[in-house]
A and B are shown apart, each in its own frame.
Chain A
């Protein structure tokens, strides 16, 4: 697989990062690498949504699964579990890829979202994500596996990232085309 860097987006007290160009049929899949996404608000969820070509708003229908693995620095709490509050069943909300991210100065989340064949007009659009970050205020390490599909056969050409509340204080998202 070869990755081509298409664009870089840096947050600075941004309400969202919207990527509105560059998602085309040029690549089979797209990878979004987000590094040290830092929220302005405590206990927020890192999310994305997409927009289909010719439509308006980031509100496509998503069915998804959400699994987390967590462990606190004190060593007293750990598990791997399904997160039923952060999946969607034909929902049109922003999809949470990581929940309850803490906001201390050295805390953030990083990960990779892969969007497969967004330009297909035959198939629904599958996605997978894996995110690692600082969970909750009690010093947890948490990893999230989120996957699902955007239930449309329309081509996807825009994507939006945000926290469910408050601004993106800092962080970088790079969009790669994979071929």
Chain B
């Protein structure tokens, strides 16, 4: 996640870059701004640096937004991209958070997906576990729902994680999987969605939108994992 710009301790460096106890500074040659050999300086060499293995690339925040998009930063730098969405609140009752990707010809890339739901009521009167038809796609080009129906009560929202594997590959189709939970009208809905974009072209942009109406509020962070 990166070392801050304040004081730097050996523990901060170990947390960011790993390493075994007892800590030996030579383990960190070549990490951060440290040289490959010779003298290491804690502040000069590590302050504000990141291991690059779980790197925050961009943050977008909704405010009565029709959609939220990341139009740069998805490239071959990382094998895996992770999107963490928090408290996505719709303007329209029952809307679902959805996403699509694009390689340059519009957000209409064909995908085949699965979608299942695990649900429990606050009243403990109703549970559900099963596949959700109508929320999956078979070579469809629409936005893929990754949450259940979100209510518009002031405390209702959806949060979760979407992971995209190898979006820059020009050999393989692009696999993804998400897990999101929704609180709404007295239910907890846990949606498991996965699938693949059926293209061997690189995908470079991603868009999030509600299935109906605006994204009233919420935040999405894009991370790159694994260099």
Chain B residues within 8 Å of A141, by CB = 112-114, 194-196
Partner of B171, one of A33, A106, A145, A174: A106
Partner of A72, one of B52, B115, B138, B165: B138
Contact A179 B226 (CB under 8 A): no
Contact A3 B17 (CB under 8 A): no
Most buried by B among A36, A139, A141: A141
Contact A73 B165 (CB under 8 A): no
Complex-state Cα separation, A105 to B18, whole angstroms: 37
Q: Does A75 contact B (CB under 8 A)?
A: yes
Complex-state Cα separation, A1 to B161, whole angstroms: 14
Q: Does A108 contact B (CB under 8 A)?
A: yes
Q: Does A24 contact B (CB under 8 A)?
A: yes
Complex-state Cα separation, A41 to B225, whole angstroms: 29
Contact A33 B173 (CB under 8 A): no
Interface flags for B160-179 (1: CB within 8 Å of A; 0: not) read 00010110010111011100
Task: Kindly identify, within residues 99 to 131 of chain A, every residue whose CB is under 8 Å from any CB belonging to chain B.
Answer: 105-112, 130
Shortest Cβ distance from A41 into chain B, in angstroms?
17
Stretch in B33-41, B85-93, B129-137 touching the partner: B129-137
Interface flags for A9-49 (1: CB within 8 Å of B; 0: not) read 00000000000000011110000010110100000000000
Complex-state Cα separation, A42 to B112, whole angstroms: 20
Chain B residues within 8 Å of A143, by CB = 114, 177, 192, 194-195
Interface size class of B (residues with CB under 8 A): 35 or more
Shortest Cβ distance from A157 into chain B, in angstroms?
13
Contact B196 A33 (CB under 8 A): no
Question: How many chain-A residues does the 8 Å CB contact rule pick out?
Answer: 47
Task: Kindly identify, within residues 174 to 227 of chain B, every residue whose CB is under 8 Å from any CB belonging to chain A.
Answer: 175-177, 192, 194-196, 198, 200, 225-227
Q: Does B146 contact A (CB under 8 A)?
A: no
Q: Does B58 contact A (CB under 8 A)?
A: no
Q: Does A79 contact B (CB under 8 A)?
A: yes
Chain A residues within 8 Å of B1, by CB = 2
Chain A residues within 8 Å of B18, by CB = 4-6, 26-27, 177, 179
Q: Does A172 contact B (CB under 8 A)?
A: yes
Complex-state Cα separation, A24 to B113, whole angstroms: 37
Most buried by A among B80, B131, B138, B195: B138
9 closest residue pairs by CB, A with B: A4-B18, A75-B138, A143-B194, A110-B165, A69-B114, A80-B116, A141-B112, A132-B175, A132-B194
Chain A interface residues (CB < 8 Å from chain B): 1-6, 24-27, 33, 35-36, 38, 69-75, 78-80, 105-112, 130, 132-134, 139-143, 145, 172, 174, 176-177, 179
**What are 30 pairs between A and B in contact, CB < 8 Å?**
A2-B1, A2-B16, A2-B51, A3-B53, A5-B51, A5-B52, A24-B20, A25-B20, A26-B18, A26-B19, A36-B165, A38-B172, A69-B192, A70-B114, A71-B113, A71-B138, A71-B195, A75-B139, A78-B114, A80-B130, A80-B131, A106-B171, A106-B173, A109-B175, A110-B175, A132-B195, A134-B196, A141-B194, A142-B114, A179-B18
